Structure 1
Amino acid sequence: MELKTRKRLSLLVLVVLMPLYVVAAVTMMNWLDTRFGRQPILIEVLVYLALGVLWALPFRRVFRGVGKGE
């Protein structure tokens, strides 16, 4: 993939898809709270950490090398 294309895709991911993912993750956690009750703080932290890493896995190739020069 060309560098210019990766830069545009990474901008799209960070500006459009990332906020949508954050809203979906918080909505899911709120649904879990209403469905099963409040979880212990350690479990909540682990779920948020997993969700924080999970979003980046499909986009590794897009972000690789974007900060480097031509």
Structure 2
Amino acid sequence: MALSYKARRRVALLVLVVGLPIYILVATVLATTIAPNSFLGTLALYVGLGIVWIMPFKSVFKGIGQADPDADPVRFDDDPQ
């Protein structure tokens, strides 16, 4: 089932406002427990988790910055000049 453009925008906003801060807290806890003294290990973990979080939501964020494809096109030929 494909989501409409408006639904994808709402889900993307929800993911960014609610999901991402939770994911950041989980990533921080993981980084401090797994590799607390290793700079390179912690850096690799942050880079890996920074890439991995977007994979499930790639289809939701794809095309969000574009104009709504379902909207009526705006016509400017009706100018009363």
TM-score range, shorter-chain basis?
0.7 to 0.9
Whether 2:8 is the aligned partner of 1:6: answer yes
State how far apart, in whole Å, the 1-side matches of 2:42 and 2:29 are: 13
The match for 2:37 is 38
Q: Structure 2-normalised TM-score?
A: 0.76
Alignment: residue pair count: 66
State how far apart, in whole Å, the 1-side matches of 2:33 and 2:42 are: 13
State how far apart, in whole Å, the 2-side matches of 1:47 and 1:56 are: 15
List runs of 5+ in structure 2 lacking aligned partners: 69-81
Structure of greater Rg: 2
State how far apart, in whole Å, the 2-side matches of 1:12 and 1:28 are: 23
**More relative contact order in 1 or in 2 (CA 8 Å, sep 6+)?**
1
Q: Structure 1-normalised TM-score?
A: 0.87
Give runs of ≥4 in structure 1 deviating > 4 Å.
Answer: none
**Alpha-carbon deviations, 1:14-58, whole Å to 9, x = none?**
00000000000001111124xxx512x222211110000010000
List runs of 5+ in structure 1 lacking aligned partners: none
Identity rate, percent: 35
